[in-house]
Structure 1
Amino acid sequence: MENKYKITGMSCGGCVSHVQKALSNVQGVSKVEVNLQDKSATIEMTKPIPLAVFKDALGNYGIENL
């Protein structure tokens, strides 16, 4: 299963790194691709994961714009 999410507020490679790390650490996520150009993250999951789980994971890194 794969979903693409818009992530606003990313402005540099450091932001991309934080988003990548935060989302990759969510249980059930198998792959994350973060794109700074279109401010998005494509997430492959082994099972359905509620959006709130991703928001919490990003919030732990100070990113709250999913």
Structure 2
Amino acid sequence: MKQKFQINGISCGGCVARVKKTLEEHPNIEKAEIFLAPKGATFITMTEKLSITELQKQLSKLNGYTITEIN
């Protein structure tokens, strides 16, 4: 299941790498694709649907990033 999100706080390739690694550490996330153009656009492939709260909790391991769902 692939869903689209916006991650605020992404500003460079280093941010993308850190956020991708942190998200993919979650057992239900198979793949995170994060883009710099448009900045922070993200596709997350999950084995089981996670709530935005669960995704933010995973992302909170890093400081300064927030995630919102895009329909």
Matches within 5 A, 1:28-39: 28-38=28-38, 39=40
Length-normalised TM-score, structure 1: 0.88
Runs of 4+ in 1 over 2 A off after TM superposition: none
Alpha carbons of structure 1 residues 57 and 43: separation in structure 2 relative to 1, 3 Å: same
Unmatched segments (≥5 aa) in structure 1: none
RMSD: 1.1
Higher strand share: 2
Inter-partner Cα distance in structure 2 for 1:56 and 1:15: 17
The offset of 1:63, in angstroms, is 3.4
Q: What residue number does 1:12 align with? A: 12
Percent of aligned positions that are identical: 30
Q: What residue number does 1:46 align with? A: 47
Q: What residue number does 1:62 align with? A: 63
The offset of 1:32, in angstroms, is 1.1
3-state SS in 1 of match to 2:8: coil
Inter-partner Cα distance in structure 1 for 2:65 and 2:31: 21
3-state SS in 2 of match to 1:17: helix
Q: How many residues align?
A: 66
